[in-house]
Amino acid sequence: MNYSIIAACGLILTVFSAQADRFADVQIQETALGSNIYMLSGAGGNMATFVAGDEVLLIDSQYAELAEKIRSKVLQLSEGKPLSRLINTHVHGDHVGSNAALSAGVDIIAIKMYWSAYSRMALFLQLVCQPQLLSNSFACV
């Protein structure tokens, strides 16, 4: 038996398990910036959320692995109101990674000047333009 194949498989499994655990200890922290306006931090780029009446806005969504932690924090800050709008500032994974998981019933807004780049990027197509998102409104401004 070829031991190098076994060693390679072991290495691959180790890398994948390390990747899965890299967000296990990440907590979504809020910093109040004003009345119902918060900066959220976790891993990667910062996010912001704003609560106005029944509307709850989130700017950027960080990594997919953090989606439930982000949802929980937004629900906590909005006193149980669900997310209604999500603005993506650009296409990096630490800004759009949770889009698919947070998209149910949410209007997603992206900057128009990035649209042509977004539409050509595989990451954007995977994270933003999934079939469940296409049924929601998607606007480029």
The domains of the chain, with CATH numbers, are 25-140 (3.60.15.10)
Q: What is the pTM of this model?
A: 0.70
The token duo for 103 is 């998209």
Q: What is the DSSP letter of 86?
A: E
Average pLDDT, the chain: 77
pLDDT (mean) for 121-135: 49
Summarize pLDDT for 95-112 with one digit per residue, the tens. Answer: 788 888 888 888 888 776
Pick from 49, 136, 64, 71: which is nearest to 98 by CA? 64
